[in-house]
Amino acid sequence: MRKEIGFPRQITIAYNPPRDWVSMLGTEIKVGLLTGCRDGQYAFGLVGAMISKGLRLDIIGSDEIDSPDLHANPQLNFLNFGGSQKQNAGLARKALRILKYYARLIPYAAAAEPRIFHILWNYKLEYFDRTLLMLYYKLCGKKIVLTLHNVNAGKRDSNDSLLNRLTLSFQYRLADHFFVHTNKMKRELVEDFRVPERAVAVIPYGINNAVPNTELTNVEARQRLGIPNGQNAILFFGNLGPYKGVEFLVAAFQRILTRNANCLLIIAGKPRGGCEKYIAEIQEAINSFGIQEQVRLRIEYIPDDEVEMYFKAADVLVLPYKHIFQSGILFLAYSFGLPVIATDVGSFREDIIEGKTGFLCRPADPVDLAEAIETYFASDLHKGLDNRRQEIRDYANARHSWDKVSDLTLSAYADLLKGAQPEKIRIAVQVSAPEKNTEQRVVRPHADNLQTEKRT
């Protein structure tokens, strides 16, 4: 049955899910899902959708991935190979838990029932995972599926090397099928690493449905954070690293304050490893601008049960990235009905409808970013935000439901188990900019079971 869902900007995503996954795959088919002991939100969304279609899963994870829900369903077998992943452990303890993880994983792979291993992330020893471990999986007769959130993170982080590219190329040559989240990622994978185009499927980035979304109101969230009524709250949320461009947001915010002092900037998130100097530079910039009183810093991991407080208290999320393919934070904001201002990098232009779900600006340009933020606060989108939030949620759910992601994933599994190369997933996307001064409404989908995604 063919389903077509209409969206603003004349975007159409078409897909052809099978009618009965259980009869196609068989109820006893199992898949080994290797989480890399990270990004539990993405894993939870994917797992929930796949078990609803009859799949059985071995989930390889850690304490941070573990959840009572993963032990309550007979279709799931959670294997805690990673244990505690706390960053404040000593070097000896960290080394020991890494060794324990691989000591458990290697014999598991040899005896595991699943014929497919789906790798969401590599574990700590990246080069080992990409080479010897991949070769070992193939010797064990496994079909390997990779979900790539970055094709080459070294290139993104400006620390690429010959060894990095060689080991990536080795892993990609041994994999049987790939999932990526944007057409740009697919092009890079095909052009830079010579991966066959037919082996790569572009799938939506599922909405984060692991973060609690309670009855907490905007007023209550602002009270908890001590944000005065009527003050414009600008949020940056997520892991902190140089490619995120937070320094440009700080500079833009300083410009905004010269014209509108009734603003607050909140920067909340955990610094990426090795980014201590970058964090210090951001704090130094805040101090040098003399805007400490208007900036709230929480430079640490934000627990899941506190995330909604930030997104419900904020007036807008800003993603000032210098480069990226796609960000799960964008869809997390949409799931709370929060508009997003982002730089025109990666696929943001495909996901942000200016004036309807947010605004775009040039990357690495604090002047243009400041203008975009000021344009937003003067727009009908901000003035009527209480009424627009549900439209933003509906728009995101229609394009990024886990139900759709799981259908495309299961289609690849089915073809691999039949011994065939996974068919090229048919996703027809047409994008045309709306005419100026033309009002548009969010077209709500007719598909059922649209759910609510990963923080990065």
DSSP symbols for 173-223: HH-SEEEESSHHHHHHHHHHH---GGGEEE-------SS---S--HHHHHH
Closest CA to 411 of 140, 158, 201: 201
Pick 443 or 243 by higher pLDDT. 243
Residue 16 binned pLDDT confidence (cut-offs 50, 70, 90): very low
Q: Using the 8-state DSSP alphabet, how is residue 110 labeled?
A: H
Handedness of CA 147, 240, 397, 354 (dihedral sign): negative
pLDDT of residue 154: 87
pLDDT of residue 452: 34
Q: What beta strand segments (E) does 209-321 contain?
A: 232-237, 263-268, 295-298, 316-319
**Neighbour-count burial for 264-296, b at 16+ CB within 10 Å, e otherwise:** bbbbbbbbbeebeebbeebbebbeebebeebbb
Residue 279 in tokens: 């964090």
- Cα angle value 290/292/294 (rounded, 5°): 105
CATH architecture of 218-396: 3-Layer(aba) Sandwich (3.40)
Give the CA diameter of the chain: 66
Residue 333 binned pLDDT confidence (cut-offs 50, 70, 90): very high
Q: Which helix (H) or strand (E) holds 415?
A: helix 402-417
Q: Does domain 17-202 have CATH number 3.40.30.10?
A: no
Which spans in 83-217 are helix H?
Answer: 91-111, 126-128, 134-139, 153-156, 162-174, 183-193
Question: Which residue intervals of the chain bear CATH 3.40.50.2000?
Answer: 17-202, 218-396
pLDDT of residue 439: 37
pLDDT of residue 47: 93
Asked whether the beta carbons of 178 and 196 are under 8 A apart, the reply is no
Residue 3 pLDDT greater than 80, yes or no: no
pLDDT of residue 238: 94
User: pLDDT tens digits, residue range 340-371?
Assistant: 999 999 889 999 999 999 999 999 999 999 99
pTM (two decimals):
0.77
Mean pLDDT of 93-122: 96
Q: Tokens 């969401």, residue?
A: 120
100/106 Cα distance (integer angstroms)? 10
Asked whether the beta carbons of 430 and 7 are under 8 A apart, the reply is no
Residue 256 in tokens: 């905004």
User: pLDDT tens digits, residue range 366-406?
Assistant: 999 999 999 999 999 999 999 999 999 999 988 888 988 99
Burial of 375 (0-12, 13-18, 19+ CB in 10 A): middle
User: pLDDT tens digits, residue range 229-259?
Assistant: 999 999 999 999 999 999 999 999 999 999 9
Residue 431 in tokens: 């994008």
Q: Tokens 């009183």, residue?
A: 293
